[in-house]
Amino acid sequence: MSEAPTYSPGLAGVIAGESAISCIDVERNKLNMRGYDLVDLTEGGASFEEVAYLLLHDDLPNAGQLAAFCDALTVERHLPDPVVQMINAAPKSAHPMALLRTAVSSLGYCDIEAEDNSHEANVRKAVRLLAKVPLAIAAGHRNAQGLEPVEPRDDLGLAANLLYMLRGDDPQPYAVDAMNVSLILYSEHGYNASTFAARVAASTLADMHAAITVGVATLGGPLHGGANEAAMEMMLEIGTPDNARAWVMDALESKRKIMGFGHREYKSGDSRVPAMKQAGQLVLEATGEDRWRQIAEIAEETMLSEKGIFPNLDLPCAYTYYGLDIPIPLFTPIFVASRVSGWAAHVIEQQDNNRLIRPNHNYTGPVGRTFKPVDQR
Ligand SMILES: CC(C)(COP(=O)(O)OP(=O)(O)OC[C@H]1O[C@@H](n2cnc3c(N)ncnc32)[C@H](O)[C@@H]1OP(=O)(O)O)[C@@H](O)C(=O)NCCC(=O)NCCS
């Protein structure tokens, strides 16, 4: 008789599928993305577009392929009218992440290939989403501020356009570089919660936009992508470097989770953190504002000495985005603008070789109860 599979809370350690897209190499503390070390891509000066191409097409593009991919993104940089109307009709108080989730869903019913799950159509839909998500973020932000939307520019790449459309002025090169690095580092991370959720949706043969909507919804929670916003709120609450150690000690004492720390897979440091810290340094040098990095460093020292827990990507990303003057509620939507590439790669991989994802569970409720009609209960 075969043994019953053991249950692991939170599915920790469970192999839930196969993928040729990326894996965390815990031994060497690296993220392997289609055979490349992710940090080599940031250090080698790759653009986010090259990494998105790598995710969608299995290999890095040559110059001609990259130019064609960027052209395809440029052509798709516009929002359908019903999506613009939905954004403009949303309450100004709507959280940008809620608005973006609805925008991604409504892009689905406007997409001419919505119900075509073929490999080719899925890649085209992924390109459209990559192009349109930054526009939806910027349009929602500008509308909430009572400002006119800023048209994207054909001469700017995705990172630069995102900054440009949010603010309406030319982004500084340091800002574009820091944003580009953050988008690369956020692009893909194995079977994390939102990617797994997107794959579950895709495995039912729900379409690309439906699966990505699930991804956005799942990313928003503070234990996942929402941690970059929560980490910045925490640093603001700490206020000054002098207060950081005592604040963290107090929070640990009262069993609070310290946002931007810890990871299910990495137990000796998040491989993406050093590259993000370097990008953050570019912003600190340009702006001269070092307070938030100092608070983060003291929190890091305290967490390491007290709990042996390392920071994750969200911590340096939070103070970098803050240094770029990006409003905090946009931090997680910007994560979406990047992770769309990873989610889409997973949806494509799932649907190219599909089997419905449908696990079992241990039932812990009662059995054998006797039904009585409602007037007898
Ligand atoms: C990411 C996270 C959800 C991983 O969770 P997990 O693998 O289920 O690990 P657990 O929550 O079981 O944590 C294991 C232990 O470390 C502690 N721990 C983990 N992360 C912690 C944190 N950020 N602050 C304080 N304690 C933490 C837990 O309290 C637990 O301690 P215990 O064994 O004494 O109860 C968790 O580290 C966390 O909540 N981090 C904060 C949110 C965050 O930054 N998310 C972004 C992740 S990229």
The span from the CA of 277 to the CA of 292, in Å, is: 12
Hey, which residues does 24 pair with through a beta bridge?
31
**Per the structure, how many domains does the chain have?**
2
Range of the domain at 171: 22-220+329-352
Q: Is 279 in the pocket of ligand 1 (CB under 6 A)?
A: no
| Nearest alpha carbon, ligand 1 atom 46 | 224
CA distances (Å), origin 357, targets 196, 199, 306, 327, 354: 10, 8, 40, 37, 9
CA of 126 relative to ligand 1 center, distance in Å? 32
- Substitution site in 14, 253, 309 for ligand 1 pocket (most atoms within 8 Å of beta carbon): 309
Q: What is the pLDDT of residues 103-151, one digit of tens each?
A: 999 999 999 999 999 999 999 999 999 999 999 999 999 999 999 999 9
Q: Is 20 in the pocket of ligand 1 (CB under 6 A)?
A: no
Q: Do 278 and 136 reside in the same domain of the chain?
A: no
Give the position, in ligand 1's atom list, of the atom nearest the Cα of 312. Answer: 48
The residue type found at 364 is: T
Q: Do 52 and 91 reside in the same domain of the chain?
A: yes
3 falls within a domain: no
Q: Is 257 in the pocket of ligand 1 (CB under 6 A)?
A: yes
Task: Find the CATH number of the domain harbouring 194.
Answer: 1.10.580.10
HSE on the CB side for 264, CA within 13 Å? 15
Of 5-14, 228-237, 330-339, the range with the lowest mean pLDDT is: 5-14
Give the position, in ligand 1's atom list, of the atom nearest the Cα of 10. Answer: 8
Q: Do 38 and 160 reside in the same domain of the chain?
A: yes
Q: What is the pLDDT of residues 141-199, one digit of tens each?
A: 999 999 999 999 999 999 999 999 999 999 999 999 999 999 999 999 999 999 999 99
pLDDT bracket for residue 27 (50, 70, 90):
confident
59 falls within a domain: yes
| Nearest alpha carbon, ligand 1 atom 1 | 263
Task: Find the CATH number of the domain harbouring 265.
Answer: 1.10.230.10
Q: Is the pLDDT of residue 38 over 80?
A: yes
Q: Is 143 in the pocket of ligand 1 (CB under 6 A)?
A: no
Q: Do 206 and 274 reside in the same domain of the chain?
A: no
pLDDT for res 115: 93
- Substitution site in 263, 267, 273 for ligand 1 pocket (most atoms within 8 Å of beta carbon): 263
The residue type found at 320 is: T
Q: Is the pLDDT of residue 5 over 80?
A: no
Q: Do 296 and 194 reside in the same domain of the chain?
A: no
10 falls within a domain: no
CA of 30 relative to ligand 1 center, distance in Å? 20
Residues 6+ apart with CB under 8 A from 249: 302, 306
Q: Do 237 and 342 reside in the same domain of the chain?
A: no
Q: Is 258 in the pocket of ligand 1 (CB under 6 A)?
A: yes
| Nearest alpha carbon, ligand 1 atom 19 | 262
Q: What is the pLDDT of residues 102-113, one digit of tens each?
A: 999 999 999 999
Q: Do 279 and 336 reside in the same domain of the chain?
A: no
CA distances (Å), origin 105, targets 86, 96, 100, 133, 212: 11, 14, 8, 11, 8
pLDDT for res 1: 53
Q: Do 149 and 260 reside in the same domain of the chain?
A: no
pLDDT for res 28: 87
57 falls within a domain: yes
pLDDT for res 268: 87
126-154 burial code (b ≥16 CB/10 A, e <16): bbbbbbbbbbbbbbbbbbbeeeebbebee
Residue 24, helix vs strand vs coil? strand
pLDDT for res 178: 98
pLDDT for res 267: 82
Q: Do 41 and 86 reside in the same domain of the chain?
A: yes
pLDDT for res 142: 97
37 falls within a domain: yes
17 falls within a domain: no
Whether 242 sits among the annotated catalytic residues: the reply is: no
Active-site entry in 263, 270, 352, 375: 263
CA of 263 relative to ligand 1 center, distance in Å? 7
Q: Do 238 and 140 reside in the same domain of the chain?
A: no
| Nearest alpha carbon, ligand 1 atom 13 | 262
Q: Is the pLDDT of residue 2 over 70?
A: no
Whether 346 sits among the annotated catalytic residues: the reply is: no
Q: What is the pLDDT of residues 312-331, one digit of tens each?
A: 999 999 999 999 999 999 99
% the chain with pLDDT above 90: 96
Give the position, in ligand 1's atom list, of the atom nearest the Cα of 261. Answer: 23
% the chain with pLDDT above 70: 99
Q: Do 289 and 188 reside in the same domain of the chain?
A: no
Average pLDDT over residues 254-278: 95
Q: Do 231 and 192 reside in the same domain of the chain?
A: no
